[in-house]
Amino acid sequence: MTLSFSHTTPHNCTTLLFNSLNFKYQLRVMDMNDPLDFEVEDALLKSPPINNKRKKIIGLDDLLQDHYREQDKLLEKGNKKANTKAKKKKSSYDDKDSKEAKLTRIVEKCHNQLKAFGEEQEIPLWGVKVFGDQKAFPPLEFPDLGSCNLLQSFLNNKLNSVVELTEDKGDIFLEGLLVNGWLSKLAFLCGHVEKPVAIWAFNTMLYSSKEELRRSSSDFWCAILSSEREVDRFPFKIDWFPEYTDLRRALDIFGFLFTFSSSAEPNNLDSDTEGPPQNIRSWIRFITACCLIRSKKAIFSAVEAEEIVEIIICLFLDRQFQGLLVLLNDCMEAIVNYFTDQEWCSSCENIAKFIACRVSKDLNCIQTVECISEASSRSKQLRSAVAYQTLFTCFDGVNSGEEILRSLTAINFKDKSCDFFKMYIHLVLIENWVLSNSLIEDNPVIYEMFCRYLQHCSTLISATNLRSYASKVRHRAAYLLHFSIYK
């Protein structure tokens, strides 16, 4: 090989010498068995790498161990979540308990502050015990069928050939006629009710233990009595009619207490001998029907009618009669209108005085006044009279309504001894006395004193006065004052 050094500089000579030596060194280091450069670059000539590692055979035990290991991990993860959730829930419960405890402390603090203004007075509910122990009911005696023309005519009728009733089945025969309504139809056909039938129907109404017989006998008597009110009806003959003593005797057997004691506690409903009997419903209906025929037959005297009004008012005071308010209201309206115009003036005052002396001066006297409806002028007059007479029993030594209003207006509301519960009772009584009496409208002095008393109650009682019934007196007086001004 020929080397040409023409036109060669010293620097170029040094470079060529270094490259020559490097080439020789690479030839000396290269193994003869190594592939050439072009062979390395060709993928087809490359031999696959030899894997000297041995494959491990995985057995069933290994798979089970891996499965159990994964299950343990999942279980541990679930336990961590449950513990975290329980800690959060416990902390929320702790927060809730702390809030409730804080609220309880606030309520107790407010209660103690309210007690500092004045002790709260426990006011019993209205209610009296009207009925005590019942007496034994008298036995029901069936009439002799042979002595009753009405029943005998039915036995001899050809219709009886189908039923085949005989005199020895008189109880079944009578009860069947009564329940099915045939007894009243036979009475209307004949225009006559004989004494044995009338007595039996009356006693069945008041003393029977069967609801069906009580209701049917009450319907029978109401139908007979209602016929007396109709003008176009032919005259109806009744051989026997009960007197007031018979009705009063029934109340005695029922256990009615004419001198009852105040008690807000209800009677023992589980007792068979205490409390109002179911027959009292028929008693009230019969009284109502008797009062409605006054134009044709005066069954009660004025004194007896006064006592019936007093009894009905007493029934209003028994909380167990709240389900019979419709019957009681109808009876009250009928008995009030039973009096003649000449009788009513004195009877109204007698009833009011009797009730005022009998009822205690608590919420019962308010209930006594408010149970009398204002549906008619007589009812309003009775309501006003009862309230007026009750006020007289509350104040000793007064002789007129002006003195009552003057003494109430002079009360010092800031005095700690001021009883707002009594003041509330007086306010309701005065309200009913003044506003239910049409005659007071012609008396400007009473009306002006009444408005002045309402103004004192509504303005002089502070809104921050937290004593019992103070707010009720203030609010009721303000409402009544507005009503009286714009009346």
pLDDT tens-digit readout, 225-238: 887 655 555 567 88
Q: Which of 363, 368, 354 is nearest to 316 (CA)?
A: 368
Total domain count, the chain: 2
| Residues 6 or more apart whose Cβ sits within 8 Å of residue 408 | 423, 426, 430, 453
Q: What is the DSSP letter of 192?
A: E
- Is 181 within the bounds of a domain? no
Q: Give the three-class secondary structure for 447.
A: helix
Mean pLDDT, residues 54-63 taken together: 62
Is the Cβ–Cβ distance between 310 and 256 less than 8 Å?
no
Q: What is the pLDDT of residue 336?
A: 95
Within-domain flag for 268? no
Q: Is residue 267 one of the residues assigned to a domain? A: no
Helix (H/G/I), strand (E/B), else coil: 49: coil
Do 351 and 384 contact (CB within 8 A), yes or no?
A: no
Q: What pLDDT, in 10s, does the model give residues 96-130?
A: 667 777 788 787 777 666 665 555 556 678 888 88
Q: For residues 430 and 404, is the Cβ–Cβ distance under 8 A? A: yes
Beta bridge partners of 192: 237
User: Tens of pLDDT along 139-184?
Assistant: 888 776 666 776 666 666 655 555 555 555 556 778 888 888 888 8
Q: What is the DSSP letter of 395?
A: S
CA distance 349 to 346: 5
Model pLDDT, residue 251? 93
pLDDT on residue 180: 86
What was the pLDDT predicted at 169? 59
3-state secondary structure of 238: strand
Residue type, 170: G
* Nearest-angstrom CA–CA distance, 350 and 389: 10
Give me the residue label for tokens 């005797």.
249
Q: Would the CA dihedral through 145, 148, 153, 159 be positive or negative?
A: negative
**Range 27-33 average pLDDT:** 49
Instruction: Give the residue from 72, 94, 117 where a domain finishes.
Output: 117
Residue 102: inside a domain, yes or no? yes
For 336-362, write each residue's pLDDT tens digit: 999 999 999 999 999 999 999 888 888
Task: Report yes or no: 422 and 470 within 8 Å, Cβ to Cβ.
Answer: no
Domain membership of residue 200 (yes or no) is: no
Range of the domain at 96: 86-117
- Residue 59 in any domain: the answer is no
456: left (phi over 0), alpha (psi -120 to 50) or beta: alpha
Q: Exposed (0-12), middle (13-18) or buried (19+): which is 487, by Cβ within 10 Å?
A: exposed
Nearest to 183 by CA among 202, 172, 197, 165: 197
- Closest of 422, 442, 482, 452 to residue 121, by C-alpha: 422
In a domain, 205, yes or no: no
Under 8 Å between Cβ of 437 and 389: no
User: Whole-angstrom Cα distance, residue 47 to residue 53?
Assistant: 18
* Residue 340 CB neighbours (<10 A): 11
Identify the residue with better confidence: 49 or 417.
417
Contact between 205 and 137 under an 8 Å Cβ cutoff? The reply is: no
Q: Which pairs from 456-460 meet CB under 8 Å and 24+ separation?
A: 456/409, 456/413, 457/413, 457/423, 457/427, 460/413
Residues pairing with 131 in the sheet: 256
Q: Could you please report the per-residue DSSP string of 190-210? A: HTEE-HHHHHHHHHHHHH-S-
Last residue of a domain, one of 78, 101, 117: 117
Residue 82 — very low, low, confident or very high, per pLDDT cuts 50/70/90? confident
pLDDT of residue 300: 93
pLDDT the model gives residue 412:
85
Strand, helix or coil at 274? strand
Contact 186, 150 (CB under 8 A): yes
Q: What is the pLDDT of residues 408-434, one digit of tens each?
A: 888 888 887 888 899 999 999 999 999
Average pLDDT of every residue of the chain: 78
pTM of the predicted model as reported, rounded to 2 decimal places: 0.71
Q: Is residue 440 part of a domain?
A: yes
